[in-house]
């Protein structure tokens, strides 16, 4: 439904002489790309239309990705209550395992996580997605930077994410 609403909004609010140069969808989606319990959502058709720069495929994150959901009981501990400490914690896999929420297993199925040779990521429920099939034919977008922001340490159980897109216009 969200893609329909976005399409309806764009149709109602775009003037004929305007060029759409980026199309971004972001927010707390309340599911992750690592939990066996979220398999249905990981395979949603939304990911055929929008690109997730953190996602290698359904149920598999890119190796540099970190989870974005902190465990509630550890929110105010020394390792996570300042931006600098939270950044250090997120950069250290052993600390991340203690503070980022782990995947949710499927009902009646033991959880094996992570797969052999893969880093421990944890639950990433905050997304920034983008698509190109809805933008002007005279431009394209490239990802310049994907960031995990620690400035709100101690204020929220979410780790905000940022995305910098470079919009490249045709020379015509």
Q: How much is the pLDDT for 170?
A: 87
Q: How much is the pLDDT for 60?
A: 93
98 labelled catalytic: no
Q: Collect contacts of 42-48 with beta carbons under 8 A, ≥24 apart.
A: 46/2, 46/3, 46/129, 47/129
Q: How much is the pLDDT for 68?
A: 96
Owner of token pair 């040779």: 117
* CA 155 to chain centroid: 20
97 phi/psi in degrees, rounded to 5: -60, -30
Q: How much is the pLDDT for 172?
A: 67
Structure tokens at 1: 């439904």
Angle at 115 between CA 49 and CA 91, to 5 degrees: 80
Of 44, 98, 138, 158, catalytic: 158
Q: Are 145 and 165 in contact (CB under 8 A)?
A: no
Domain map of the chain by residue range? 2-6+23-167
Q: Are 158 and 129 in contact (CB under 8 A)?
A: no
pLDDT lower than 70: segments of the chain: 172
pTM score: 0.89
């Amino acid at each position: 439904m969200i893609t329909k609403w976005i399409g309806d909004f764009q149709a109602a609010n775009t003037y004929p002489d305007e060029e759409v140069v980026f199309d971004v969808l972001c927010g707390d989606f309340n599911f992750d790309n690592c939990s066996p319990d979220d398999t249905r959502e990981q395979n949603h058709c939304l990911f055929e239309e929008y690109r997730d720069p953190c996602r290698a495929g359904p149920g598999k994150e890119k190796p540099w990705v970190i989870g974005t959901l902190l465990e509630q009981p550890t929110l105010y501990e020394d390792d996570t209550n300042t931006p600098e400490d939270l950044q250090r914690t997120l950069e250290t896999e052993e600390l991340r395992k203690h503070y980022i929420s782990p995947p949710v297993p499927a009902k009646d199925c033991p959880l094996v996580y992570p797969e052999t040779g893969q880093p421990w990521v944890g639950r990433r429920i905050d997304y920034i997605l983008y698509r190109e099939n809805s933008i002007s034919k005279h431009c394209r977008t490239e990802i310049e930077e994907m960031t995990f922001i620690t400035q709100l340490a101690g204020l929220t159980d979410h780790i905000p994410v940022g995305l910098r897109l470079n919009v490249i216009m045709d020379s015509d």
